[in-house]
Each structure stands twice: as structure tokens, then as C-alpha cells.
Amino acid sequence: MQQPASVPNNIILIGFMGCGKSTIARALHRLLGYPLVDMDAIIENRAGKPITRIFAENGQTGFRDMESRLLEELVQAAESGQIIATGGGVVERPENRAWLRRLGYVVWLCAPPNVILRRTRNSHERPLLQSDDPAARIAELLATREPWYRECAHLRVDTTGLDSREIATGILESARYYFADPAHPRCTQP
């Protein structure tokens, strides 16, 4: 039997599209100097096409498969000192939710539906919102995903009305307390 190992000192950002995961990840990268792992960008690079085309050609399941494989790779690599920005739907699969917690300190970035709609309404790169009623789609997806975000997160941050530096600074302070606590959760190696 393997001995328990500490959770890697990574900061993982989860949350719905338009809640600021990429922006906050860049701000944390600037503050800490940790490497930035943008899962969506890695998937696009590997597939050689944007997420909208992945969804069109491989379907949502194909994209989620790519996302799960990448997340599993990150867990198996067991690297520390990274900022990891996930896609909004990464929490849909139970194994992903378990892997997120094994990666480090999970921060759920959130915002009210009206703010999400305002932030995403002009984007054509959000395949799940390409519908006749994006507001209803946001509400539907949030209702499904919020319990999963809550299950994964060590910290919840509403990004409404705060700038990225304020949010990043607050996350950093909270993460420092978490990682300094000798009682923080332990995990076993994959």
C-alpha cells in the first residue's frame, strides 16, 4: 500500500463560462510566477481546431473525453506550483470532480446568470450558448452544474464587481492558509 502524499500545491479554477477563469488565472500567474495551464487552450492545440469545431465535429462527448484525458494526465504528472484554468463543464463527470480535488486547491468562480449573459452574449466561441434563448440555457446549465462546483470547491468567489487583481489576491491569501494548514486533505497517488 502506498503512503499518502500531500495534495499538490496547485490552484485550480473552476466555474461557469464568463465567470473569469482565464482572466483570474493570468492574474494569479502574474502574482505567483507559477506556470499557467489553460485546459481549453491545450485541448484546442492538441486537436488542431477551436472548441467550437471540436463540438461540431466530435460532439460534446468527444470534447469531454479530451478534457477528462487531460485532467487525468495532470493528476498523474503530480506537478506542483501551477495555476490550472479548467473549462466550465469539467465538473460534469464524477471522475473529473475527484481528480480536481487531487490536483490542489480548487476555487469556484461564479457570477449571477444576468452577469454571465452580459459577459458572454457577444461571443460566438461558446457552443453551449448557441441557442435561441441563451439566458434560459445559462439558467439550465447552472442549475445542473452548481452542485458539482460546490462538491469540488474549497473556496467560492463571486467575481461580480471585483477586478481580477483583487480576486487573485484574495485567492492567493486563502490558498496560503489552506496549504499552510497541516490538516489539509491528503490523497493517495493515482
User: What is the per-residue pLDDT for 18?
Assistant: 86
From the list 41, 21, 39, 36, the residue with the least C-alpha distance to 168 is 21
CB 81 within 8 A of CB 12: no
Helix segments in the chain, DSSP class H: 21-32, 39-47, 51-77, 94-103, 113-120, 134-152, 164-180
Domains and CATH numbers, the chain: 5-184 (3.40.50.300)
pTM listed for this prediction:
0.87
- The average confidence (pLDDT) of the chain is 85
The CA angle 77-72-139, to the nearest 5 degrees, is 135
Lowest average pLDDT, out of 49-53, 74-78, 92-96, 125-129, goes to: 125-129
Q: Which residues contact 15 (CB under 8 A, 6 or more apart)?
A: 21, 88, 108, 109, 110, 149
Give the pLDDT confidence score for residue 187 in this predicted structure. Answer: 36
For the segment 137-176, what is each residue's pLDDT rounded down to a tens digit?
889 999 999 999 999 999 999 999 888 999 999 999 999 8
Residue-wise pLDDT for 95-111, tens only, equals 999 999 899 999 999 99
pLDDT reading at 58 higher than 50: yes
Model confidence at 78, in pLDDT bands (50, 70, 90)?
A: confident
Q: What is the Cβ-side half-sphere exposure of residue 34, based on CA atoms within 13 angstroms?
A: 25
